[in-house]
Every structure is written in structure tokens, then in C-alpha cells.
Structure 1
Amino acid sequence: MERRDIEIFLTLAEELHFARTAERLGVSGARVSQTIKQLERRFGVALFRRTSRHVELTAAGSALREDVQAGYQRIQEGIARAIAAGRGFTGSLRVGFSSPLAGEVIMKAADAFRARHPDCEVRIREVHLSDAFGALRSGELDMQVTELPVREDDLSCGPALVRDPRMLAVAARHPFARRERVTVEDLTRDTLLVPADAPGYLLDALVPAQAPSGRPILRTPTLTSRQELLTLVGSGEGMAVVGSQATRFHARADIVYVPIEDLPPIEYGPVWPAGGQTSRVRSFIALARSQLGEDTARATREPVDR
């Protein structure tokens, strides 16, 4: 039976009136009558007894209604859920962040998203350095805001949402701790601690393999978490390139953050599974951009203390 045939049969079985059935389904009375006749010919049994004044189900019609009703209801519910998911504003949106700054971006966007789409829950979780894309690939996250660039065949990414000036984290007793700024050439003078499993292209974007002079930069892949980074840097095990957000979120007496004058800011942007940019993801990204734009405009309007 075609879906429309099932709708006509079940509606007539409920209404027991051809004209009301036609009106309810938005079809002609002839269409209803023709469909029932075709079903009866196909099954070889009468489904309804009808006179000029009365319509009722036969025993075969009642049995068919019982058999079809439950399955049809499940199909309708499945279709409704699929449509709602396609529209994207029910269920949940799972968003990851890889740094406190990215977390701030997500929290602001999540507040705006919840206000606009109250039927869609936003779930937020941290993405660890040791497994940057694992949660996306396993389906645990719908998207995340993370360091760019991302060059993975199974992932898509959007343009940068926020940029964070780079700084060098060193132990408070390190010679660079007394500097106002450092350069890329200075990075060749000590061990540089970097994430253990970062893709090569991302590692090169974060910390170049060599300085402009051609001298190599000793990059030691040891870090699996930010707390580990802070502990190793504070104990003098090496230096680390970080964003300026560290001065707000990770201020410590045993660590000094020194601006790097000749490296561009670290960029953070949205990443999602290839082919998985649902309307929920698109709306969330648009709201994130809008919130950041409002923050920038607000900052330019605020008076500067002199």
C-alpha cells in the first residue's frame, strides 16, 4: 500500500464518511472512493459496507485497520522526527572547545542559541590536546571551536571566529622572563614543548620548525593537557607557545608570559564532520559571529581611560 492509500483508508475507517474524509485530507470524494475500490480489488475482499446513508468497516476492514494503524503511526512519528532534525531546532547540539578562549566564544553563542531555539539543548564539553578530533569522528560532538588550520579529509571548517596574540610561556626564573618581548629566533635557544599528537600541519602553524636564520627550533612533543604544560613550563622543563588568553586563565607565580613579536595570532574557528553541517550548526556559527561582532562594536564605543 502506498502511503496516501494508507492515509485514506485509516481516515475513512475513523470518519466512516466519504465526504468528511475527503475534506479532512484535502482530496476529492472521487479520489477516496476510487482508492477504496482499488484496495478492495487488490485484496479481493470488501473493507467497508456502505449504503447511501451509512458506512461501516467489515470484519476484514477492521482487521486491516488494526494491523496497519500501529505501524503507520510509527512511520509518521519517524517522519516528524526526521523533519524536525532537518530543520535543526529540536533535540540537542553538542559543541566542543579546545581552549578557555574558545570556551568563552561557545558560551556566548550558546546563550544566544538557547534564547532563539529553546527546544534545542546545547551541550558543551572540552576537547583534549591528546585527541583533537576524536570526539567529532566518533559522533560525540556535532562541531567544535578549535585551533586553525584544520586540513582533514573527513572534516570541514569555517573561517576564524577569534584571534589570540601569541606569547611565550617560560619559567619565572628563565632569562626570557625579564624580556619585554621575544622573536622567533629566540625560540631556538631552549626546548619548546608542543602537543604530543598534533597533526604536522597544525604543529608547523603553531610553532615553525626553524627560525628565519635557518636554525632549527627544538620542538619536543610531550604535552597532553594544559595542566601538564603549566607544570612542565613552571618547573623549567622547557618553553611553550601559547595564546595571550593564558594571562587571564592561567596566571601563575612560577610562569611568565612574554609577547612574541613576529608570529601572527593563533586563530580559532568552527570545525564539523564533512557533510554534517546541519541547520543547527549553521545557526550556532552565525550566532557566534554575531556575538563577537557585538563585542567588538561595544569595545570601540567604550571610553578609554587616560
Structure 2
Amino acid sequence: MELRDIEIFLVLAEELHFGRTAERLHVTPSRVSHVIKKAERRIGGPLFERTSRTVRLTPLGKRLRDDLLPAHLRIQQAVDRAVAEARGIIGTLRVGYSTPWCADLAFRAVGVFRDRYADCTVRIQEIQFDDPFGPLRRGELDLQISEFPAHAPGVIEGPVLFRVPRALMVPAGHPLAGRDGVSMEDLAEIPLMRPGGDVPKYLLNLHVPTHTPMGRPVPHGPSYTFWSEVPALVAAGLGGSIVAARAARYHDRPGIAFVPFQDGPPLEYGVLWSAAGQTPPALAFVDLLVDLADTTADDS
């Protein structure tokens, strides 16, 4: 059997569906059928049991699959290593993230990246909101997954990975907590937590506006150093915070409520590069992030 025929057999053994196998390998179903019939003639026995509704491996097909899988994996790994070396995908790639959902995507990508490029190590670290671009600009990171926009010297915006609706995190006993939704005008009714440190003004205006769209002042709440402090401050009744709606999955706790915004643009998260950071490992990792993000819902 040729290598391509082996690949078709193994994918069909996994999918157990001629149409899905053809779609996955970008061939026609008739091509899949032809390859399997040719293999069965050469081997001298049926590899699959086919009916109008099901496709199942025969005992002979199961043994062939189990024998071929380890060898096929080794061949694919050898090819991936050669590709990685030829493209310069070696060494260490340093990736930052700003939110748990960005972290989830980064670590999912690391798992796939490690299998493809065994000679390249990926290190992941969290970025603090009080210094959102410092590690990237200082050369401590090659890229990061965090909030857009990024107006900073030496920082380049890459592809958007998430578009997430906003929500307002409020104390559970606050009058806004019982609503089905809030508007940007409602921010005049609750103090907003403010991050300390040297946060760019445009990011502050995005996450902690000083006035509502109609010009009403938004009260200032306590400041914080790390975002993990915010849920505790909110639960203590000291104010609220504008968050991504999916933050409810990660930060919900007694004493707080998440109320979706009925207006205002979604929050965007994407890839940020340093001006000199578009190395072969970084480019390959970003391609993988984009592929994986396509399977991640952009809602809450």
C-alpha cells in the first residue's frame, strides 16, 4: 500500500464514513472507495463491513489498523520534524495571555504544537493589566493573546481570535443585579473598579469609562493591582466592573452577579506581536491559534 492509501484507510477506520473521510482528506468518496477495494484485493480479505447505513471494521481491518497506526505516526512525526527544521521552527517560543479563555486557547495550541514541532518549546505566562504591553516591548515575550486595540510603540496587532459580548459584574444585592440587561448609561449608578499601574488611557476608557455616552459621570470604585482581586471587591459591595460575558464561567462566586450589556461593542481579543517577533515558530503558532479559535464560539 502506498502512503496516501494507508492514510485513507486509517482515516476511514476512524471516521467509519466514506463522505466524512473524503471531505477530511480533500478527495472524492469514489476515490476512498477505490483505494479500499484495491487494498482488500491485495490483502485478500474484507477490511470493512458496509451496509446502506453503517461502515464497520472487520477483525482483519482492526488488526491492520492497529499494526499501521504506530508506524504511520512515526512517519508523520519524522516529516513534521524535517519541516520544522527546514522552516526554523526550533528553540523556545514565549507566549503571554491576559484572560483565562485566552489561556485555554494557548494551552490547547501548545498541545498540538508540541506534537508537530518537537524541537520547539513553548513557554506560557500571564500578563497583568497594569503592564499590558511591557513584557512584549521588553522582549520577554514573542507574542501574546490579549485585548484589542493595542496602541503601543513596537507592538503590532495580528488576527482577532475572539469577539465577546460585554457584561457588568455587580454585587448580588445591587439593584442592577436583578435586571435582564444593562446599558452604558447605567454605569452612572455604580462605582467601577479601576486598575492601578500605568494603564494606557484608551484601555481605561474602554474598560473603565469616566462618563456615560450621555455625559453623566461614572463613580470611581477602589483600585486593584491584580484582576483576581476584583470579584472579592465586588462581592464586598464596593462597586462593579465591566467584563467579558464569558467571565461568568471563570469568576462566578457567591455575592456577585453578571448582567449582559444591551449596547456597546463587543470586546475583542487577538494576537499581539513585537515588531521583531514574527519568527518562524511564532508564525506557525499563530496559524494554529487561528485554526483552533475557529472552533471556539465567540459568544458567552
**Which TM-score band (shorter chain)?**
0.5 to 0.7
- Find the counterpart in structure 2 of residue 135 from structure 1: 135
Q: Percent identity between the aligned chains?
A: 42
Q: Which amino acid aligns with 1:128?
A: Q
Give 1:219 deviation, angstroms: 4.3
CA distance in 2, matches of 1:288, 1:144: 11
Q: Which amino acid aligns with 1:258?
A: V
CA distance in 1, matches of 2:222, 2:159: 27
Change in CA separation of 1:124 and 1:213 when aligned onto 2, cut-off 3 Å: same
| Structure 1 contact 158–271 (Cα < 8 Å) conserved | yes
Q: How does 1:159-170 map to 2 (within 5 A)?
A: 159-170=159-170
Unaligned runs of 5+ residues in structure 1 are: 1-83, 300-306
| Structure 2 contact 98–146 (Cα < 8 Å) conserved | yes
- Find the counterpart in structure 2 of residue 223 from structure 1: 224
- Find the counterpart in structure 2 of residue 90 from structure 1: 90
1:251 aligns with 2:255: no
Give 1:115 deviation, angstroms: 2.0
| TM-score (normalised: structure 1) | 0.65
CA distance in 1, matches of 2:149, 2:117: 30
CA distance in 2, matches of 1:258, 1:229: 16
| Structure 1 contact 86–279 (Cα < 8 Å) conserved | no
Q: CA RMSD in A?
A: 2.2
Give CA deviations for 1:261-305 in whole Å, capped at 9, x if unaligned.
1122211111121122111111111111111223459x9xxxxxx
Q: Which amino acid aligns with 1:154?
A: G
- Find the counterpart in structure 2 of residue 144 from structure 1: 144
Q: Which amino acid aligns with 1:256?
A: A
For 1:213, what is the secondary structure of its paired residue? Answer: coil
| Structure 1 contact 195–222 (Cα < 8 Å) conserved | yes
Give 1:188 deviation, angstroms: 0.9
| Structure 2 contact 221–238 (Cα < 8 Å) conserved | no
| Structure 1 contact 89–280 (Cα < 8 Å) conserved | yes
- Find the counterpart in structure 2 of residue 201 from structure 1: 202
Q: How does 1:157-196 map to 2 (within 5 A)?
A: 157-196=157-196
Unaligned runs of 5+ residues in structure 2 are: 1-83
- Structure 1 or 2, whichever has the larger Rg, is 1
CA distance in 2, matches of 1:221, 1:156: 32
For 2:194, what is the secondary structure of its paired residue? Answer: strand
Moved over 4 A (4+): none
Give 1:85 deviation, angstroms: 9.2
For 2:167, what is the secondary structure of its paired residue? Answer: strand
Change in CA separation of 1:89 and 1:190 when aligned onto 2, cut-off 3 Å: same
Give 1:185 deviation, angstroms: 0.5
1:233 aligns with 2:234: yes
CA distance in 2, matches of 1:273, 1:198: 18
Q: Name the count of aligned residue pairs.
A: 215
- Find the counterpart in structure 2 of residue 108 from structure 1: 108
| TM-score (normalised: structure 2) | 0.67
